[in-house]
Amino acid sequence: MKVRPAEDKDLESLLALSQAGFDYDYRFDTTLNMQWSSSAEAREYFSSCMKSKDSLALVAEDNGGVVAFLTASLITAESYRQNMRLAELQIMFVSEHLRSRGVGRALVAEFQQWAKENGSKRIKVVVSAGNVRAAEFYRDNSFQDYTLVLETEI
Specify whether the CB–CB gap between 49 and 6 falls below 8 A: yes
Closest CA to 57 of 97, 5, 109, 15: 5
Q: Can you give the pLDDT at residue 78?
A: 84
Query: Which tens digits make up the pLDDT trace of 132-141?
Result: 999 999 999 9
Q: Can you give the pLDDT at residue 80?
A: 85
Q: For residue 88, what are the CA distances in angstroms to 11, 15, 38, 47? A: 21, 20, 23, 17
* Exposure class string for 65-83: b at 16+ Cβ within 10 A, else e: ebbbbbbbebeeeeeeeee
Instruction: pLDDT tens for the chain, 154 residues: list them.
Output: 899 999 999 999 999 999 999 999 999 999 999 999 999 999 999 999 999 999 999 999 999 999 999 999 999 888 888 878 899 999 999 999 999 999 999 999 999 999 999 999 899 999 999 999 999 999 999 999 998 888 888 9
- Helix, strand or coil for residue 93? strand
CATH superfamily, domain 2-140, is Gcn5-related N-acetyltransferase (GNAT) (3.40.630.30)
Closest CA to 138 of 123, 116, 119: 123
- Helix, strand or coil for residue 36? helix
Specify whether the CB–CB gap between 72 and 55 falls below 8 A: yes
Kindly state the DSSP code that residue 8 receives in the 8-state scheme: G
Rounded Cα distance between 78 and 144, Å, is 18
Query: Which tens digits make up the pLDDT trace of 109-149?
Result: 999 999 999 999 899 999 999 999 999 999 999 999 998 88
